[in-house]
Amino acid sequence: MNPSDMAQLAYFFLQTRVLGRSKPLLASFKLTYRCNLTCPACPFHLRPDHEAHISWDKALNALEQLDRMGCRIVIFEGGEPLIWRDGAHGFDDLCALARRRFLRVGATTNGTRPLSAATDVLWVSLDGIKASHDRLRCGTYDEVMANLRASVHPRLYVHYTLNRENWRDFPLALAQLRDIPQVKGVTVQFFYPYAQGEADLALERHERAEAIAAAIRLKKAGYPILNSEGRLEAMLDNTWRCHEWLLANVEPDGRVSTGCYVRGRGEVNCAACGFTPVAEASGAYDLKPGALLAGWRIFLE
């Protein structure tokens, strides 16, 4: 991390912790609801506005607004963000502009496109070993694994959403990822039930407890799980202190808001929260050592 990065983070914590000003740290920027897949776990392609797709001008306005708000990290999502285009402008054009404004820029992709995005960080969604991933992700396992192996992205991660169909596969999936040196680490979260027509894949409490215990064991055994142990444990009952103002949200129509990832996208049910990135960000703000280390390793190391 260079001195400029350190200065940006120091200024953010001065503004928020010392001066008490609520500023978002991390933005979830949904460029589009369009996708080349129709995964059963995803509610967005089922929405009446599933064709929503932000324009270049609205995207620039949203980035400017995030910058004015003090946001330092932007993560592009979808739908499938790598297919985003508006006229002559493609996804990498938007990334280049964002990287001039923000500390770090990332994206989460389904992995069916070449993994060469011009982002600082790139997550690829993987939902199990071949059988479970193919059921949950439209038969794309072989394509995703080939793209992972072919990638030269410097900070490539796998993102694994634990759900009723794939949580038992997690150890074997991790073992298979160990053979792919391009993958620098794995982050996990838990399926959130939007109840908007997607498959009901939420874990029961005892399943979540077993999944959390397994993830912590695997992390202690040396597997590259980037979540902190403390924040994983906190996800069991979701009684952790949520600083939801640390999160900004951008929708494909250009609307910008702050607060819970789900608000405006579905019914908020904190007891069912599976959004570990928010738990980690909240823990880092509260100076939890494990959460601070997780953020460092993911974005800055």
Domain boundaries, the chain: 23-300
**What is the topology classification, in CATH, of domain 23-300?**
TIM Barrel (3.20.20)
Residue 149 has pLDDT above 80, yes or no: yes
Average pLDDT, the chain: 95
Query: Which whole number is the average pLDDT over 255-276?
Result: 93
Give kind and range of the element (H or E) at residue 188: strand 183-190
Residue 2 has pLDDT above 80, yes or no: no
Q: Model pTM?
A: 0.95
Least confident of 14-28, 56-70, 78-92: 14-28
Instruction: Extract the tokens encoding 115.
Output: 């993994």
Instruction: Extract the tokens encoding 290.
Output: 């494990």
- Angle between helix 91-101 and 56-69 (nearest 10): 20
- CA distance linking residue 301 with residue 299, whole number of Å: 6
Query: Which whole number is the average pLDDT over 81-107?
Result: 97
| Chain segment 206-244, per-residue pLDDT in tens | 999 999 999 999 999 999 999 999 999 999 999 999 999
- CA distance linking residue 124 with residue 187, whole number of Å: 10
Residue 271 has pLDDT above 90, yes or no: yes
Cβ contact 12:24 at 8 Å: no
- CA distance linking residue 52 with residue 41, whole number of Å: 19
Q: What percent of the chain has pLDDT over 90?
A: 87
Point out which residues pair with 32 in neighbouring strands: 53
User: For residue 294, with 0-12 CB atoms within 10 Å meaning exposed, 13-18 middle and 19 or more buried, which class applies?
Assistant: buried
- CA distance linking residue 211 with residue 132, whole number of Å: 16
pLDDT value, residue 17: 84
pLDDT value, residue 47: 81
Residue 1 has pLDDT above 70, yes or no: no
| Chain segment 30-58, per-residue pLDDT in tens | 999 999 999 999 998 888 777 799 999 99
What type of residue is 233? E
3-class DSSP state of 54: coil
Query: Which whole number is the average pLDDT over 98-112?
Result: 97
